[in-house]
Amino acid sequence: MARSALLNVMVQAALKAGKSLSRDFGEVQNLQVSVKGPGDFVSQADFKAEKIVHDELMKARPTYGFAGEESAEEKGTDGAHRWIVDPLDGTTNFLHGIPQFAVSIALERNGEVVAGVVFNPATDELYTAEKGGGAFMNDRRIRVGARRVLSDCVIGCGVPHLGRGNHGKFLVELRHVMGEVAGVRRFGAAALDLAYVAAGRLDGYWESGLSSWDMAAGLILIREAGGYVSDMKGTTDIFGSGDVVAGNELIHKALLEVSNRPIPGR
């Protein structure tokens, strides 16, 4: 499988940051038993990973803009291109020694995501996609699942938590979705969850309150794997709304309908 020079740069950055995260993840597992816990250590691991990604990408394309979760946005002299980076997606998992986390890197050109990489160093799974070139897991081409009815589907989601999101709204959505599907999952790393939709592991996904770095790489993975993504209203304003609904054409449509059903009795 031939990758473009740009995608290669992104892959090298993700692998290098992944190596650093892997090393730190080993240490986090030791720190679980300390009273203070691994909080500060994980923040450092997160910053370190972002610096690695930043330096690799900016070395290769010094004029591009850079939007990473852990630092202030850099504008770049090239107005057309911007990297969108989450150096550690699934921080809570990482902090708790759960091996479900990823480095997520996307490239935006004139406001459109044109390439994406998601790498889980704990499983060595590398997801890549470039506009018009298909989506891959390691060297294998991936496609969204082919299931046609929700009753056969396993659907992923994000659950709001302490101090985050609209708990009541989510519970209404969940109540409707769980009554129609074969299973609901919450894995805790949105970038990887979207990659799982691209790979057909999850048949669909929905979450609200996300940031562009959680979703950017996942969006192109899903589109290049033949899937559909929108916000909760069905529009393409995904970054603006912070919402995402994904699946194959039929499941995306069905999930949109079910998750938007009104609260019973209203």
Please choose which of Ca ion, ligand IPD, none residue 189 contacts, taking the beta carbon within 5 to 8 angstroms, the exact cut-off set by kind. ligand IPD
Among 50, 56, 86, 173, binds ligand IPD (CB under 6 A): 86
Q: Does 86 bind Ca ion (CB under 5 A)?
A: yes
Please choose which of ligand IPD, Ca ion, none residue 24 contacts, taking the beta carbon within 5 to 8 angstroms, the exact cut-off set by kind. none
Min separation Cβ 236 and ligand IPD, Å: 20
Report how far Cα 25 is from the mean position of its chain's Cα atoms: 19
Q: Give the per-residue SS3 of 238-261.
A: HHHHCCEEEECHHHHHHHHHHHCC
Q: Give the Å distances, CA to CA, from 256 to 151, 197, 206.
A: 15, 15, 9
Min separation Cβ 4 and ligand IPD, Å: 27
Specify the residue, 130 or 207, whose C-beta has the smaller distance to Ca ion. Answer: 207
Among 52, 114, 144, 190, binds ligand IPD (CB under 6 A): 190
Closest CA to 128 of 136, 53, 222: 136
Q: Does 145 bind ligand IPD (CB under 6 A)?
A: no
Q: Are 65 and 133 in contact (CB under 8 A)?
A: no
Among 65, 121, 158, 227, binds ligand IPD (CB under 6 A): 158
Please choose which of ligand IPD, Ca ion, none residue 243 contacts, taking the beta carbon within 5 to 8 angstroms, the exact cut-off set by kind. none
Q: How far apart are CA 235 and CA 182, in angstroms?
A: 27
Specify the residue, 61 or 101, whose C-beta has the smaller distance to ligand IPD. Answer: 101
Q: Give the per-residue SS3 of 50-115.
A: HHHHHHHHHHHCCCCEEEECCCCCECCCCCCEEEEEEEEECHHHHHCCCCCCEEEEEEEECCEEEE
Binding site for Ca ion (CB under 5 A): 69, 86, 88-89, 214
Binding site for ligand IPD (CB under 6 A): 86, 89-91, 158, 188-190, 207, 209-210, 214
